[in-house]
Amino acid sequence: MARSINRVILLGYIGSEPEIKHTASGTPVAQFSIATNRRWKDRNTGLLREETDWHRVVLWQPENVKPFLRKGALVAVEGRLQTRSWDDKNGITRYITEIIAESLSFCGGPAGSGDKQAKPPAGAAAVEAEGAQANENKPFEATDDDVPF
> What is the mean pLDDT for each group of 10 consecutive residues in the chain (149 residues)?
90 91 90 92 90 93 82 93 92 94 80 45 41 43 50
CATH code at 26? 2.40.50.140
One-letter identity of residue 102: E
Q: How far is CA 105 from the centre of its chain?
A: 10
pLDDT at 141: 53
Q: What is the pLDDT of residue 144?
A: 55
Phi, psi of 70 (to 5 degrees): -135, 150
In a domain, 46, yes or no: yes
Residue 82 within any structural domain of the chain: yes
Domain that holds residue 23: 8-135
User: What pLDDT sits at residue 121?
Assistant: 46
Confidence at residue 145, expressed as pLDDT on a 0 to 100 scale: 53
Taking the C-alpha atoms of residue 140 and residue 142, their distance in angstroms, rounded to an integer, is 6
**pLDDT confidence of residue 110:** 53
Angle (nearest 5°) at CA 138 between 77 and 143: 115
Residue 40 in domain? yes
In a domain, 145, yes or no: no
The answer to whether position 72 is within a domain reads: yes
> 10 Å Cβ neighbour count for 104?
19
Query: Is 3 within the bounds of a domain?
Result: no
Q: How many domains does the chain have?
A: 1
Strand partners, 58: 31, 100
pLDDT at residue 136 in the model: 43
